[in-house]
Amino acid sequence: METRELRYFVAVAEESHVGRAAERLGMAQPPLSRAIAQLERRLGADLFVRTPRGVELTSAGETLLREGRTALAAVEAAERRTRRTAAAGGRASVVLTAKAGAQSELMAKLLDAYAAEPDAVEVDVVLSPPGHQAVMLRDGRADVAILHRPFDDLSGFDMDVLAVEEQVLILPAGHAASARPSMTVAEASSIPDLPLPRWPNLDGSYPDGPGPELRDMTQILQLIRLGRAAIVLPESVRASVREGLAVVPLTDAPQVTTVIAWPPHSTSPAVAGLVRTASRL
Amino acid sequence: METRELRYFVAVAEESHVGRAAERLGMAQPPLSRAIAQLERRLGADLFVRTPRGVELTSAGETLLREGRTALAAVEAAERRTRRTAAAGGRASVVLTAKAGAQSELMAKLLDAYAAEPDAVEVDVVLSPPGHQAVMLRDGRADVAILHRPFDDLSGFDMDVLAVEEQVLILPAGHAASARPSMTVAEASSIPDLPLPRWPNLDGSYPDGPGPELRDMTQILQLIRLGRAAIVLPESVRASVREGLAVVPLTDAPQVTTVIAWPPHSTSPAVAGLVRTASRL
DNA sequence: GGTGTCCATACCGCGGGGGTATGGCACCAG
DNA sequence: CTGGTGCCATACCCCCGCGGTATGGACACC
């Protein structure tokens, strides 16, 4: 099976419509129809049932869609990483990605410790919006990532745990609830005049709800000082909490685990070294 | 990048020789040279340095070899799984692979429990030689596997832990050492007249050493009864130990963890159901 | 039954993958 | 230094197969 065939198949499966898929692929409809039919012949499997409105996946087609997407991502990742190591011009280098804003002290410690290693290579740090680290690791734009359980999807990666912490509620300093010694998540999310902000989805859109749309951390902290919102965050943010804000521990929020993750089996020596120093921190 | 190009590249990289790679691929040398050159142009990266003896990988080439192999495996897995679900003829089914011989009671419990589930599908159990479960999971011949830490390479899989057990030494009943209440691994492996058997590598070859070559469990137990060998195994084998054999606990052997593993992101409903019942055992 | 909306088939042109023959280069034996 | 050997690259050719256009055929809806 060629990646071209797979790309065609995925396009048709996603559109449920050969014509639209062809348009998306920048080609005419008949060759696409033929390519799909040929793929079906070669696999010995019907991938679609043809309906008057378009096409629908068979169960074999659903399997190929699931598996094919990850296969395509793997090919794409191979290509990207190859281009990158070539661009580095023989001198090895590693791209590390992390969420913009948080755990800067941990990152600094890691980068310092690694730079002191005898066989250290250059580390490019790429800060990306929350939730995008795993994507970048999967498609080859990054080699290692710092990410967070249970928020990020870690499936398919190897990883080491770097830190475990509780979560706290950040709210305006003067607010009545700020005097409480602790709170539950249910209580925190139902404070009448303090809605929790909404986090953007992977595609940049926002879920519906009452809270403000969260853009960056300083903006939301500003909103909290103004008495307009509250937010649940890992307790390490205490370090960056200045006046005007109060912190209340949450008793039943899930623990947040900071991990360093990397794609399995692509253990370049540089990545291995970085992971080794990370796990010694 | 097309999978054909990747296959060509991997062949050349593995042979370090364009001519031999071409032979292996069943084609002539010049088109292969050209395909590689074209791949290099398209990637904008030199993958090989040409030497008078053949070719050598550049660092970019090493990256592509590492990544490309897993990408090819992913494509192959997609193809196999699609063929399989098509062959199942609409009626979903799952292939579970496990090491031949061991933990049969756990498997039986799992299969019984799963069969009782409302949405259970047919489960094909494939027993494969030790160490091959992970390979079958990676190349799509299986959907779920029962395997064992730290022996199997679990990287890249999602998993749940099913059981944790200590290891024991099995030796002839009459042997002097069989009276000891416990032993260390060092002691167990240096009993003068009882060599530990050698396990086959993934390719079927055997490492060098004094012990007998292990073929199957009954054969090795026979050898132990004859006073010719001893073996270290998880303690669950006590159940299948009959007369003529003695069991001595090991104090410092690593724990053996039995896990159920599955490829990430290919979570078909059937696999998900099987895993769910497994983790409830 | 006409019409619109799909996907499939028929047919054609051309790019590119694969073949053979040969060149160019480095190393080695003498 | 020179002929020989063992590589990979280039030159040239053929033909398969991919992609294009035109059209057929099935189905739903009015």
CA distance A278 to A270: 12
User: Is domain A3-83 classified as CATH 1.10.10.10?
Assistant: yes
B274 CB-contact burial (10 Å; exposed 0-12 / middle 13-18 / buried 19+): buried
pLDDT, tens only, A68-114: 999 999 999 999 999 999 888 767 789 999 987 667 788 889 999 99
Contact A92 B59 (CB under 8 A): yes
Q: Where in chain B is the domain with CATH 1.10.10.10?
A: 3-83
Residue A141's nearest CA partner among A84, A75, A203, A101 is A84
Instruction: Find the farthest-apart pair of alpha carbons in chain A and give their distance in angstroms, rounded.
Output: 70
Distance A37 CA to C8 C1' (A): 10
The closest CB to that of B1, out of A59, A62, A79, belongs to: A79
The closest CB to that of B86, out of A43, A77, A86, belongs to: A43
Note whether B234 contacts A: Cβ–Cβ < 8 A. no
How much is the pLDDT for B56? 92
The nt closest to B20 (CA vs C1′) is D7
CB of B103 nearer than 7 A to strand D: no
How much is the pLDDT for A266? 64
CA distance B18 to B9: 10
Question: Which residues between 121 and 180 in chain A have a beta carbon less than 8 angstroms from any beta carbon of chain B?
Answer: 140, 155-158
- Interchain CB contacts (distance < 8 Å): A and B: 156
SS3 B99: strand
Architecture of the domain delimited by A167-249: 3-Layer(aba) Sandwich (3.40)
Report whether B167 contacts B254 (CB < 8 A).
yes
CATH top class, domain A95-156+258-280: alpha beta
Note whether B46 contacts A: Cβ–Cβ < 8 A. yes
The nt closest to A18 (CA vs C1′) is C7
CB of B54 nearer than 7 A to strand D: yes
Q: What is the DSSP string of chain A?
A: --HHHHHHHHHHHHHT-HHHHHHHHTS-HHHHHHHHHHHHHHHTS--EEEETTEEEE-HHHHHHHHHHHHHHHHHHHHHHHHHHHHHTTTS-EEEEEEESSS-HHHHHHHHHHHHTSTT--EEEEEEE-TTHHHHHHHHTS-SEEEEEETTS--TT-EEEEEEEE-EEEEEETTSGGGG-S-B-HHHHTT-TT-PPPBPP-TTS----SSSPBP--HHHHHHHHHTTS--EEEEGGGGGG--TTEEEEEBSSSPPEEEEEEE-TT---HHHHHHHHHHHH-
How much is the pLDDT for A246? 86
CATH code at B88-158+258-280: 3.40.190.10
Q: How far is CA A181 from the centre of its chain?
A: 33
Higher local confidence (pLDDT), B222 or A137: A137
How much is the pLDDT for B102? 64
Contact A266 B67 (CB under 8 A): yes
CA distance B196 to B199: 9
Question: Which residues between 52 and 111 in chain A have a beta carbon less than 8 angstroms from any beta carbon of chain B?
Answer: 58-64, 66-71, 74-75, 77-79, 81-88, 90, 92
Per-residue pLDDT of chain B in tens (281 residues, 90 and over written 9): 999 999 999 999 999 999 999 999 999 899 999 999 999 999 989 999 988 888 999 999 999 999 999 999 999 999 999 999 988 876 778 999 998 766 778 888 999 999 999 988 999 999 888 788 999 999 899 999 999 998 898 988 999 999 999 999 888 888 888 888 888 888 888 887 888 888 877 777 788 877 777 777 778 888 888 888 888 888 888 877 777 888 889 999 999 999 999 998 767 888 999 999 998 88
Strands B144-149 and B256-262: antiparallel
Q: Where in chain B is the domain with CATH 3.40.190.10?
A: 88-158+258-280, 167-249
Q: Where in chain A is the domain with CATH 3.40.190.10?
A: 167-249
- Beta-bridged to residue A258, according to DSSP, are A148, A163
Residue A264 φ/ψ, nearest 5 degrees = -65, 150
Mutation site, B41, B63, B121, interface A, largest A CB count within 10 A: B63
pLDDT, tens only, A160-205: 999 999 999 888 888 888 888 888 988 888 887 888 888 877 777 7
How near does any CA of chain B get to the CA of A40, in Å? Answer: 10
The closest CB to that of A67, out of B2, B47, B77, belongs to: B77
Q: How far is CA B223 from the centre of its chain?
A: 25
Q: Residue A65 pLDDT more than 70?
A: yes
Note whether B3 contacts A: Cβ–Cβ < 8 A. yes
